[in-house]
Amino acid sequence: MFGYFPYSEYEPVGQGSSVQDGLGEGWRAGRFVSNHLVFNLKSPIFRNAEVRRAIAHALDKKLIVSKSAAGLGRVAIAHTPMGLPWSNPNAPQYNYDPTKAQSILNGAGYPAGPNGIRFRARLIWNNSDSEHAKAAEVIAQLLKAVRIEVQLIPMDPGSGWRRRSSSGISI
């Protein structure tokens, strides 16, 4: 089977079904599909590596996976899925630490303003699947906790790819 098969459908399909059999053993171990954030490096805010590092600490990746992948996903330690020959098991780790994220943002020159907001960003997400919708909502909530206001922009995949160059963040 090639292409997208939503996490939410794995369990309802049932053990031993022809669909699950066609997915092979890898269906429960984890698809080689990764959902990740892409930052617009043309933006002065996201060009700052400290801001990107702070956001990495602001995101509870386990929560995002549990809410968006029906309990079947797992947190990646790098962009390339583990298990592939070129994956990097020594990639830097950014543990969930919202206090550290806020400290980094303050040091990077983005303290909360009088309105309590550090800055605003747009998050474009692929509206063709419910997993991206759930992930986008959780990401927005987690970033709000560190005083980054996120506008969610759902888009179809084709339009989303065209808009990514002008957005703040996309998933």
DSSP 8-state assignment for residue 126: E
- Domain membership of residue 55 (yes or no) is yes
52: domain CATH number?
A: 3.10.105.10
pLDDT value for 11 = 57
Confidence at residue 15, expressed as pLDDT on a 0 to 100 scale = 52
In sequence order, the β-bridge partners of residue 122 are 151
| pLDDT tens by residue, the chain, 171 residues | 334 555 565 555 555 554 444 444 444 444 455 677 888 898 999 999 999 999 999 999 999 988 887 767 778 777 776 677 777 888 888 999 999 999 999 999 999 999 999 999 999 888 877 788 899 999 999 999 999 999 999 888 766 555 554 445 555
Partners of 121 in the β-ladder: 150
Q: Rounded to 5 degrees, what are φ and ψ at 2?
A: -115, 145
Domain annotation covers residue 17: no
- Decide if 9 is inside a domain: no
Looking at the DSSP bridge assignments, the partners of residue 152 are 123
Specify if 122 maps to a domain: yes
In this prediction, residue 155 carries a pLDDT of 85
pTM of the model: 0.77
Q: Are 68 and 132 in contact (CB under 8 A)?
A: yes
Domain that holds residue 154: 34-81+93-170
Q: Is residue 59 part of a domain?
A: yes
Is 26 part of any domain? no
| Domains in the chain, number | 1
Per-residue confidence (pLDDT) for residue 2, from 0 to 100: 34
Q: Contact 35/139 with Cβ under 8 angstroms?
A: no
Q: What is the dihedral of CA 159, 129, 122, 92, to 10 degrees?
A: -110
- Which secondary structure element, helix H or strand E, spans residue 38, and what is its range? strand 38-39
For residue 29, the model assigns a pLDDT of 44
Amino acid identity for residue 47 in this structure: R
